Structure 1
Amino acid sequence: MRRKIEEALLVWKNSRVRKPLVLNGARQVGKTYSILDFAQKQYRNLLYVDFSAQKNACALFEGDITPEALLPQLEVITKTSVDPESTLLFFDEVQACPRALTSLKYFFERAPEYHVIAAGSLLGVALGREEYSYPVGKVDTLTMHPLDFEEFLWAFQEEQLADLIRAAYAADRPMGLHDYALGHYRRYLLVGGMPEAVDAASSSASPSEIQSIQLGITDAYIADMTKYASPLDSAKILNVWRSVPEQLAKENHKFQYATISSSARAFQYEAPINWLNAAGLVSFCYRVSEGRKPLKAFVEQDFFKLYLLDVGLLAARYGVDAADLEPAADKGSCFRGGIAENYVMQQMVANGIEPFYWGTTSRAEVDFVVQMSEGDVAPVEVKSGGNVSARSLEAYRKAYQPPYVLRVSTKQFGFENGIKSVPLYAAFCIGS
């Protein structure tokens, strides 16, 4: 399965100022597979330690964790000879051995010639409960996400279609395969980007089989909430987790504590929400009071939306099928709009964009506002169907006169009256 992280790993490997690498990401997004595949392609040898499976390996890090002390012992337990130039050292599930993460500092300071990668899930929460020293400034970091829509197309041998979409996005010209691409987009909404689900879908698994995989993944996340939080905290974390689909099905997708419970208050749930964000299971989208750069200067911390890491997991939790996602002017439009927003948010986050949203007291609201690579601030309006009327977008344009706006919908590519029309299947192009 081709992943974009491979390109970033190759840049890291060839960097003249390479540091040990920490690869973050939620559980089951494909970190281990991608690194092992990268090692097979780029190195002669691999020294692999999985701290969840090899409990005895953690004992090696209880004493001296300098490279000169660790390497001979690691060579013995893994039966691997280490050559600095041709061997990758891979410490997996490093959250199970905090001092292995600390050891990266000494690899950087005393043995920078070694190629070392540490990967783990829940690093932000699991290690926060331990006494450890994070090697700040001594490591490079990357974050891995579920497959974006372009990677999804690659998984189905649709590389040429992905290239055509990119070309049409750049040229603002209609694409003849528009309906064909929309079909793949709607399939992605149900399958999502979790590698196990994508692999099953590419092997012609049934919708019920794919949904079973997705619900199994969410069950594993719930188990982590119990494992890495106190009983009281885990109950609140679970309440927030369960409320996100309901939050996104409302007409106003702003996070409302009353959706969790009529008695819920912000001070009670701030830590549980941050736990889910640190675990990579949700992403914040904060409101900004002004649609001008720098956007971070205008963030209103008390107003935010939460999106799940993967639209397929969201669809599975709703229990929807393909017919439920067809555009229609009915009471389900808010639910479909929430799924479309979650999808677009997922694509932008995977692209390294930090989206915000803009709103006013007069109820005008633009779904997303992003700062593009060229420096422009662009509003992004998302429509799950072809009805693209948007009074809020016009209010934003009148207030800030942006050079252009992005309208993401089922309509064709185009550029007219300062509006760049982006089909939903092309959201992965935004900011790239």
Structure 2
Amino acid sequence: MYFKRKIDDFLLNWKEDISHKPLIIKGARQIGKTESILHFAGNVYANVVYINFVLDKRFRAIVSDGYDVDTVIKNISLVDPNLKFVPGETVIIFDEIQEYPDVATCLKSFNIDRRFDIICSGSMLGINYKKIHSNSVGNKTDYEMYSMDFEEFLWAKGYTQKHIDDILRHMTELKPFNETELNVYKALFLDYCVLGGMPDVIRGYIETGTFSGSTAVQEQIRLDYEEDVRKYAEGLDQAKIISVYRSVPSQLAKENKKFQFNKIDKNARSREYTGCIEWLIDAGVIIECQCLGYPELPLKGNVDEGKFKLYYPDTGLLISALDEEAQEDLRVNKNLGVYKGALYENFVAEAFIKQKLGLFYYKKENSTLEEDFFVRSKSELLPVEVKSNNARSKSLSSLIKNENYSDIKNGIKLGDFNVGYVNNIYTFPYFCAFMIKAFVKKLD
């Protein structure tokens, strides 16, 4: 069973561009990169040459005596003489290139030669990406992939583009969902939160109609991530990296969700862990939300480097990392209000990063003024508040009303609401988070 993914359209557009360059697809393990690449390649090319540098180490010397196209093709053919190379009809897929980053040096030759298309990928590509980038700068196109988002989950469940467009229409026209629409999408959203977006987890759910086995798959993925730390984290304290990864759920359970090193170890210092966090971000297994120095535009360059929040880029994996009692409450009672709203907040962070939106928050020193996220339109900054209850949005209202925050005119509130607009605050149900970028674009 192949699930339609957003990368499908990207790959087709890349192929149709007559000046397309070799493509590098980055992303964490088991999010469906290889499956999507091979599905696309099998439908578009007469010849597919697939090389996995983890599964077949014989190919780890194909550029040892030269980076020009003919030498590389010759060496690949020496390893496997059954592979065919037909100019204009062949794509060469280099998978798991973090195991052999030197192969990226030949991308320039393929880009100039243009007889064969090249797609590179790797589960831990981010770790060696600086070297790969330096070897191929100006001769590649990059694409960052994540696990399935809520829109892709809806596709997997049989919903069409018409349904997606209708959700956006409700948001832009400020038209409340009817009771049936609201109940159906809320139930789907809760299922997606518990499952997350890992294709193997979604596949089991679609095939059986149950959550049976999903926890085991999620736990194995988290264990695989920790095994990657032991395999790829060179020159860093591997135990510290794993401790940071494991501490994210408990850090999010705090009232103050700012990441605190002393919650890992009372004697921990930031300088001891900074490289560990960067490693996990590069590996694609955590995402960082930066703290704004002041809530104004521009966002980049306006951050307090010493303050940040960390999230899992897949809420299903986060839930699988919780204690058994909390997991049971979530899976049986669908009570996402546990952990002080951390799960809703993580879902929104996940939805934003999958829309290629930056992650920023704000907390004023010595004040209760705090905002979960921010997005920007062409002309204004919109604070986004994630509500796990029906309490008033004091911070959101303060940011909008205070003349000192001149870039802020409106705000967005996500919660157990219907669509509305009151006092310059747009309210949307949680499940609309995946359409925030499209909504803001419509505002422009």
| Band of TM-score, shorter chain | over 0.9
The residue aligned with 2:314 is 310
Please give the alpha-carbon distance, in whole angstroms, between the structure 2 residues aligned to 1:286 and 1:348.
13
Partners of 1:325 and 1:336 within 8 A in 2: no
Counterpart of 1:280 (choices 284, 306, 311) is: 284
Closer, same or farther: CA 352–375 of 1 in aligned 2, 3 Å: farther
Please give the alpha-carbon distance, in whole angstroms, between the structure 2 residues aligned to 1:278 and 1:269.
14
Please give the alpha-carbon distance, in whole angstroms, between the structure 2 residues aligned to 1:131 and 1:396.
43
- Matched AA of 2:46: R
Please give the alpha-carbon distance, in whole angstroms, between the structure 2 residues aligned to 1:45 and 1:247.
49
- Matched AA of 1:326: N
The residue aligned with 2:424 is 418
Deviations 1:49-78, CA, capped at 9 Å, x for gaps: 111111101122222121111123324516
Please give the alpha-carbon distance, in whole angstroms, between the structure 2 residues aligned to 1:133 and 1:297.
24
> Would you say how many aligned residue pairs link Structure 1 and Structure 2?
423
The residue aligned with 1:243 is 247
Partners of 2:96 and 2:125 within 8 A in 1: no
Closer, same or farther: CA 152–133 of 1 in aligned 2, 3 Å: same
The alignment yields a C-alpha RMSD, in angstroms, of 2.0
Partners of 1:47 and 1:89 within 8 A in 2: yes
The residue aligned with 2:151 is 150
Could you tell me the TM-score, scaled by structure 2's length? 0.91
Closer, same or farther: CA 279–33 of 1 in aligned 2, 3 Å: same
Deviations 1:108-156, CA, capped at 9 Å, x for gaps: 2x3134211100122222466x899531222110000011101011111
Partners of 1:75 and 1:82 within 8 A in 2: no
Give 3-state SS (helix, strand or coil) of 2:372's partner: strand
The residue aligned with 2:441 is none
Give 3-state SS (helix, strand or coil) of 2:213's partner: helix
The residue aligned with 2:44 is 42
The residue aligned with 2:91 is 88
The residue aligned with 1:322 is 331
Partners of 2:96 and 2:124 within 8 A in 1: no
Could you tell me the TM-score, scaled by structure 1's length? 0.93
How far apart are 1:413 and its partner, in Å? Answer: 1.1
Partners of 1:98 and 1:132 within 8 A in 2: no
The residue aligned with 2:263 is 259
The residue aligned with 1:63 is 65
Please give the alpha-carbon distance, in whole angstroms, between the structure 2 residues aligned to 1:368 and 1:71.
49
The residue aligned with 1:167 is 169
How far apart are 1:272 and its partner, in Å? Answer: 0.3
Partners of 2:77 and 2:83 within 8 A in 1: yes
Closer, same or farther: CA 127–369 of 1 in aligned 2, 3 Å: closer
Please give the alpha-carbon distance, in whole angstroms, between the structure 2 residues aligned to 1:132 and 1:216.
31
Give 3-state SS (helix, strand or coil) of 1:297's partner: coil
1:364 and 2:369 are equivalent in the alignment:
yes
Once structures 1 and 2 are overlaid, which stretch shifts more, 319-328 or 242-251?
A: 319-328
1:79 and 2:82 are equivalent in the alignment:
yes
The residue aligned with 1:355 is 359
Gaps of 5+ in 1: none
Aligned ranges 1:131-150 → 2 under 5 Å: 133-150=134-151
1:124 and 2:126 are equivalent in the alignment:
yes
The residue aligned with 1:97 is 100
Q: Kindly, what percent of the aligned residue pairs are identical?
A: 33
Give 3-state SS (helix, strand or coil) of 1:349's partner: helix
